[in-house]
Structure 1
Amino acid sequence: MISVDHLTVEFGTRPLFNDVSYVINDHDRIALVGKNGAGKSTMLKIICGIQKPTSGTIGIPSGLEIGYLPQVMKLSDDTTVIDETRKAFSGRTKMQEELKKMEQEMADRTDYESDSYMQLVDRFTQEHERYQLMGGDNYEADIERTLIGLGFDRSDFDRPTREFSGGWRMRIELAKILLRKPDVLLLDEPTNHLDIESIQWLEQFIINSSAALLLVSHDRAFINNVTNRTLEITCGHVEDYKVPYNKYLELRQERREQQLRAWQNQQKEIADAKAFIERFRYQATKAVQVQQKIRQLEKIVPIEVDEVDNKVMHLKFPPCLRSGDYPVICDGVGKAYGNHTIFSNVNLTIKRGEKVAFVGKNGEGKSTLVKCIMGE
């Protein structure tokens, strides 16, 4: 479907990719993985044509539609949620208007036997069949189903998009991409702004979709549930594992252990050769052997060990006095903005040392409750 051939990308003197080739096939569900800065987002931008490689080509068949969701994008603020989402069907809307024009022309004309009238009827029939194959007038139901699946309420549909946070507006863009039903989905961290229910809905959408998928995500559970192949960007090249993410982790560990053993053996070989050269460099009887060792060292291709991101976040809290046995006690706590009640009658006791998770849909008041507890 999409072929990546001998792709090289350079920023400065260090190549990000070097001579990378692979193919995205029909129905592939690919996880694109690698440490931060390896070039995962750059790869997606190159495939969808936003960024140009230093060398190499991307082969995309004519008529193939790609849906791309970046991590950050410019969002529209001049319309409502429903109207912005309808833009996904702008091509279908134009087709609908053209059909109405042809229908009106057929009703107005009386030269039913003329060649031009018969050509008009044929053109209308073909375009109407194509319109029906694309879903016809049923897109309103698709819009409602998709927006609700991504966490919107029906009462949100007619609200201006500027009233929503950046995360919610990203959901609108995701809805537009999914509704277009592209042949290939390129998704860069699609779960960043989704709650648990919306992530589960997106999982099912992808599983039931016929589109190929190239996914960048840090959500391991999501990757495991929707992908069946893993591409790892490491050391400037791509390793193709035709297995799901969990199995890839096992194979990568085995591969790295083999690389490490080979690297250690190579380092020993290099050290032995250098020691021999230093020991016998000035002995005429060993001159031939010394030159042979020098030539062997020159021919050695260094073995690379796959990069592993071992970065760990370290948090250090300032010392404080020991709290009481019950540091948080909520008794009948409530919060409202005007007539809109966020939550009410919250009764909660947190014991010292407990680890508590506040879960729920976006907008249910989790952060607001934390701020109330903090006195903010």
Structure 2
Amino acid sequence: MSLIKVTNLTFAYDNSYDDIFENVSFQIDTDWKLGFTGRNGRGKTTFLNLLLGKYEYSGTISANVDFEYFPFQVDHKEYNTMDVVHDIYPDYQQWQLIRELSLLKVSEDILYRPFDSLSYGEQTKVLLAALFLKENSFLLIDEPTNHLDLHARKLVSDYLNTKHGFILVSHDRAFLDNCVDHILSINKTDIEVQKGNFSDWWDNKQRQDNFEQAENEKLRKDIKRLTDAAKRTSNWSDEVEKTKNGIRNSGSKVDKGYIGHKAAKMMKRSKSIEHREQSAIEDKSKLLKNVESSESLKISQLAYHKNQLVELDHVSIHYGGRMVCSDINFTIEQGERIALLGPNGSGKSSILKLICGEDISFSGTFRKGSQLKISYVSQDTTHLQGNLSDYARSNGIDESLFKAILRKLDFSRVQFDKDIGSFSGGQKKKVLIAKSLCEDVHLHIWDEPLNFIDIISRMQIEELLLEHSPTILFVEHDSQFSKNIATKIVEL
């Protein structure tokens, strides 16, 4: 056991006026299993890179361990898997690798196959197995779940639960809850460490947010009361001062000394109230520093003239001479939120593309309502470019609503002028989701929309969908999201 100590860490990228971290201090134990959470763009991957020594910073990071980062860079994916592992860790013992693969329910046969012939899930498991071969290292595991289906996520989460000594970046609540014992969170103004899993941290955060909001309301009322009192006292003082050189109605002269003393006393009281008011304002500014809140939004979906929008009756999809999926039966009716589940390679994306009108080879009966308008969110974000205003105009959506949704999902106003191509993976996915929610359509179809999106934004997207109840068909491997959102599940 040893400690990693971070003291007064301050860092900003070159040509940036804003610090990513400013005078941050905390310490973590190298035996802990840390879940690392925070909004997209807050600096999770940046912090991991600082631990790896990739950037210069002010402050200190002291540690008596080496750091290893996942995912590894694989330069020769055409090599056999065994040779890929050898390039990562030349000194490994094969029996140790086979043991780790066994824990991940992966056959050792894949060691003799080209790495690029493996599925994304198999590749992830092999690289994780290689990672845990390295002893006396503290492991930095960055978003291992993005290409894992529900079954693979459970396997990997169970595997990590048997390990210790790592920081895990993941946006899957169930995944984190199963395999971490501490949470490292990047908040709006600080970084904090708490014991427990994600649900424990979230419960504590909500309690803290509710307390701060109650205190904020109390202080707001205090400030108004003190401001009104200060104005009254200041007016009294001015009125008394005016009588010093005046004459009373009776014509007698005024006692200037008495009135001057009274005016000074009133002024002193005014200053005292003003001081208390300023103190209350300062207290108020310290509150709500980490509360994640945004304005409510109004989102609507077009009504279709029939209740049933889509029907698949014994549909089988063929691709490249092979059958991708067979005998698919389900309907989409207005108001339904349908989760399309199944392992990777089972044909989920092909079904979505068929419904969206792509030229997909199929057999069976497929019916889609005439003039049905669909909004599609794909997994691919590489086409995104230009600023948000131009993007909204080119897609014919309401720019104000589009940006309001992005604000709710933690976009700062300074990002509105940046090129979308410079956004993080999670921010790009938020752009696609916000665009989809702004479109005038009858049906939303989303293909793995939450990849790279932070947990708090996932919960806010859930709130939007539950509040406005659009008709939606989606593929998503976040089990908690599917459980919370779906009114119907279709499993392949």
Q: Same fold (TM over 0.5)?
A: yes
CA distance in 1, matches of 2:183, 2:110: 40
How far 1:323 sits from its partner (Å)? 5.8
Change in Cα spacing, 1:140 to 1:298, as seen in structure 2 (3 Å) is closer
CA distance in 1, matches of 2:298, 2:35: 28
Change in Cα spacing, 1:368 to 1:153, as seen in structure 2 (3 Å) is farther
CA distance in 1, matches of 2:299, 2:112: 41
What amino acid is the match of 2:98? A
Correspondence for 1:119:
none
TM-score, with structure 2 as normaliser: 0.56
Correspondence for 1:76:
75
Change in Cα spacing, 1:173 to 1:261, as seen in structure 2 (3 Å) is same
Correspondence for 1:243:
196
How far does the alpha carbon of each residue in 1:306-358 deviate from its partner, in whole angstroms, 9 at most, with x for none? Answer: 2215589987655544265x9423336252534x54344x2524364565443
How far does the alpha carbon of each residue in 1:253-306 deviate from its partner, in whole angstroms, 9 at most, with x for none? Answer: 221122122222333333333323322335124111222334444554432212
Q: Please provide the CA RMSD for this pair.
A: 3.5
What amino acid is the match of 2:209? R
CA distance in 1, matches of 2:91, 2:171: 34
Which of the numbers 6, 11, 14 marks the counterpart of 2:8? 6
Change in Cα spacing, 1:155 to 1:19, as seen in structure 2 (3 Å) is closer
Greater relative CO (CA pairs within 8 A, separation 6+): 1
What amino acid is the match of 1:76? D
Change in Cα spacing, 1:330 to 1:155, as seen in structure 2 (3 Å) is farther
Unaligned runs of 5+ in 1: 93-135
CA distance in 2, matches of 1:351, 1:251: 39
How far 1:224 sits from its partner (Å)? 0.7
Correspondence for 2:85:
85
Change in Cα spacing, 1:75 to 1:27, as seen in structure 2 (3 Å) is same
Correspondence for 2:291:
307
Correspondence for 1:57:
60
CA distance in 2, matches of 1:318, 1:148: 46
CA contact (8 A) 1:2 1:59 kept: yes
Alignment of 1:1-376 (within 5 A): 1-10=3-12, 12-53=16-57, 55-61=58-64, 64-69=65-70, 75-77=74-76, 79-82=78-81, 83-92=83-92, 136-139=93-96, 141-142=98-99, 145=102, 149=106, 154=109, 157-159=112-114, 161=116, 173-181=127-135, 183-209=137-163, 211-281=164-234, 283=237, 284-285=263-264, 286-299=266-279, 300-301=282-283, 302-305=285-288, 306-308=290-292, 318-322=302-306, 327-331=310-314, 333-338=316-321, 340-344=322-326, 346-350=327-331, 352=333, 356-372=338-354, 374=357, 376=359
CA distance in 1, matches of 2:297, 2:53: 35
CA contact (8 A) 1:31 1:227 kept: yes
CA distance in 2, matches of 1:215, 1:291: 53
CA distance in 1, matches of 2:113, 2:159: 24
> What is the count of residue pairs matched by the alignment?
321
CA distance in 1, matches of 2:269, 2:165: 57
What amino acid is the match of 2:312? I
How far does the alpha carbon of each residue in 1:177-219 deviate from its partner, in whole angstroms, 9 at most, with x for none? Answer: 234356322222211111122212211221112x312222221
Unaligned runs of 5+ in 2: 238-262, 360-492
What amino acid is the match of 2:233? F
Change in Cα spacing, 1:196 to 1:77, as seen in structure 2 (3 Å) is same
Comparing 350-359 and 21-30, the one that deviates more: 350-359
Percent of aligned pairs with the same amino acid: 21
CA distance in 1, matches of 2:111, 2:311: 34
